């Protein structure tokens, strides 16, 4: 089983969108039994809360229900447990790299490092904006999700 952790600041916008997109893509590609997903935040602002209503509404419009997700903060166990830790922005990436034991830092990567479309390195935070920001986040993550899943699925089973 390959385990993926998507990380943003508060775990109510970007990382639940990423988890929802990838979870659905894994289901439709028949890979859900081999690759698991979770999400977390670098901060504890929203622990226990459901994803932002705008994120839920956007995802529901895509036929993806993320209402079951609940915000949590990254903890030390995550660095050992997860095989891939995908940061949404530069601040999250830096925080994760600073907190991770050195033996697990290579698991941390920018989510958009898997995107096919060049030119954007980080997923912007849509929290203080409107629906267009959430649509932009969805588009960026949707692109990267394909590359991420393809890269993992292409690895030999013993990796």
Whether 8 is catalytic = yes
Options 14, 23, 25, 54, the catalytic residue: 14
Options 38, 52, 78, 125, the catalytic residue: 125
Whether 125 is catalytic = yes
Whether 13 is catalytic = no
Using an 8 Å Cβ cutoff, are 26 and 58 in contact? no
Q: Which residues are catalytic?
A: 8, 14, 125
């Amino acid at each position: 089983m390959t385990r993926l952790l998507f990380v943003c600041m508060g775990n109510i916008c970007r990382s639940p969108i990423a988890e929802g997109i990838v979870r659905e893509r894994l289901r439709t590609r028949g890979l859900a039994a081999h690759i698991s997903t979770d999400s977390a935040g670098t901060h504890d602002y929203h622990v226990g809360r459901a994803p932002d209503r705008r994120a839920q509404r956007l995802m529901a419009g895509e036929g993806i229900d993320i209402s079951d997700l609940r915000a949590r903060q990254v903890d030390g166990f995550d660095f050992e447990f997860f095989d891939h830790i995908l940061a949404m922005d530069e601040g999250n990436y830096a925080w994760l790299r600073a907190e991770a034991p050195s033996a697990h830092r290579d698991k941390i990567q920018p989510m958009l490092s898997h995107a096919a479309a060049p030119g954007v390195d980080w997923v912007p935070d849509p929290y203080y904006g409107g629906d267009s920001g959430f649509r932009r986040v969805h588009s960026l993550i949707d692109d990267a999700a394909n590359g991420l899943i393809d890269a993992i699925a292409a690895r030999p089973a013993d990796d």
